[in-house]
Amino acid sequence: MIPTVEWKDGIVRMLDQTKLPIEIVYNECKDYQTVARGIKELWVRGAPAIGVSAAMGLALGARQIKADYPECELTWAISSQCRHILIGNPHVDHIWEIQAAALSDREMSWWGFAEAVLRIQTGPEPFDRVILSQIWPANFRNYDGTIRASMLRAYAGTITVPIESVIVLQAHEIQRVERYIDQCGIRSYTHRILFECSSTSGQSYVTPDFAIEVAERICSELADCCFIISTHEPIAPTNPRIFSAREIGMRENAHLTHACTLFVGCGSGLTVVATSTAAKTLPTIQLLSSRTSMYASFCHDFEFFNKSTERFIEMGDAAAETVVSAIIACCREGLVAARATYHKPLPLIFDFYLELIDQWLVQRGHYFDALESLSVTADRYGWRDELIGFAKERVIPSMHLDKMNCDLQSKSRAETLVGLIP
């Protein structure tokens, strides 16, 4: 029997099963980057009917995997900070928790995870299939400037299930949220606004101080309203109609939406929760940074997946007074009237996308992956001038320096992609 993975002289040698049975080729993995490439290109394919999807984000593809392989035993790898999202998920059989205490730990945690997967593949019960859906730090080749589509692109099959995050709340979580709602008397107000204000990826300018400023100004103009500020940061609002939801867990906010009439978000984790299967569909104002463009735009994301965007009012770099006016208009005039005045979809620009590709691929010498990313982005948006310029100036001239993709198959693929650039 030919070994699929072996350790020899401190080097991981992986059988490239994509070349079988014509050739028996082993790829030497001397660093974590090559290890990750071997996994994501499926050099290694195990035997037992066990699936693993490795991601330090939300399980967006578990539902699809179970639809395509209903008998599979699905293990989902996720960071310790996000593990709670998967509790009760009917599509995940096992959770592999990746320890990452802080944001700064996540990259090394990822590489440690990649090595752990390889060690399993050398054992008696390797995974049948490994899918890396996490974009950062080693899967930017699938990145098109957005999150959900880029993660789902790692799955080779057609997406046929509903495009929505699955959250299944437990009875004790619902009870805890109901106690919080009763203690604050939230349902006694006509207008109940849930406010997300702690994004961490640069997609929004909104902070807890900004949210409190907006809430205080609205409370002075709108008598029958209250605000629930959802943030992990400690806040001390002085207005009795502004409540801190710090004690409510991230996923528990899904039930909190059922007691609210409006959601104000910033394209971060709470917006994912507020658009999940466990949440109530609410009129939604999204306050985003224009420079990140489509990166965290749920309006853009919903349009791509042919989902209705009528609930959204999207605003870029809006000043506090504009946000105040938009929220008051939603409360007094309704979503449709407010949307006609304040909905300003972010313009499609690629500066932020190209910054990330430059930082994580080009500056690290991964020119083939950069070309793949540009190609999937062009498949979605067309070959825009910014993409063409970046490809011809920053990527193509240096592709001969990429030592990770020097085989004939990679070179042939690159020549094909280069030929498609106008």
Residue-by-residue DSSP string for 221-275: H-TTEEEEEE-SS-----STTEEE-TTS-TTTHHHHGGG-SEEEE-SSHHHHHHT
Conformation bin of residue 231: beta by default, left when phi > 0, alpha when psi is -120 to 50: beta
36 sits in which H/E element? helix 32-40
CA distance 397 to 141: 18
Predicted local confidence at residue 339, as pLDDT: 98
- CB within 8 Å of 177: residues ≥ 6 apart: 248, 252, 255, 256
Alpha-carbon distances, residue 305 vs 152, 162, 171, 302 (angstroms): 12, 9, 32, 5
CA distance 229 to 237: 9
Predicted local confidence at residue 40, as pLDDT: 47
Predicted local confidence at residue 190, as pLDDT: 98
CA distance 210 to 240: 17
| Residue range(s) occupied by CATH 3.40.50.2000 in the chain | 172-342
Structure tokens at 317: 């770099």
Residue ranges of E strands in 267-348 = 284-288, 312-316
pTM across the whole model: 0.85
User: 172-342 — its CATH code?
Assistant: 3.40.50.2000
Predicted local confidence at residue 96, as pLDDT: 84
Find out whether the peptide bond into 3 is cis, omega within 30 degrees of 0.
no
Q: What φ, ψ does residue 408 adopt, rounded to 5°? A: -65, -35
Taking each helix axis from N to C end, the angle separating 208-221 and 320-333, rounded to the nearest 10 degrees, works out to: 50
CB 271 within 8 A of CB 265: yes
CA distance 54 to 3: 23
- CB within 8 Å of 282: residues ≥ 6 apart: 194, 257, 260, 261, 262, 263, 274, 311
- CB within 8 Å of 183: residues ≥ 6 apart: none
- Order of strands, edge to edge, in the sheet holding 129-132? 94-98, 73-79, 50-54, 129-132
In sequence order, what are the beta bridge partners of 161?
A: none
- CB within 8 Å of 372: residues ≥ 6 apart: 141, 142, 417
Predicted local confidence at residue 297, as pLDDT: 96
The residue to which tokens 């992990």 are assigned: 232
Predicted local confidence at residue 52, as pLDDT: 37
Instruction: Report which DSSP code applies to 346.
Output: P
Rg (CA), the chain: 23
Residue type, 330: C
Q: Which stretches of the chain drop beneath a pLDDT of 70? A: 1-60, 100-105, 405-407
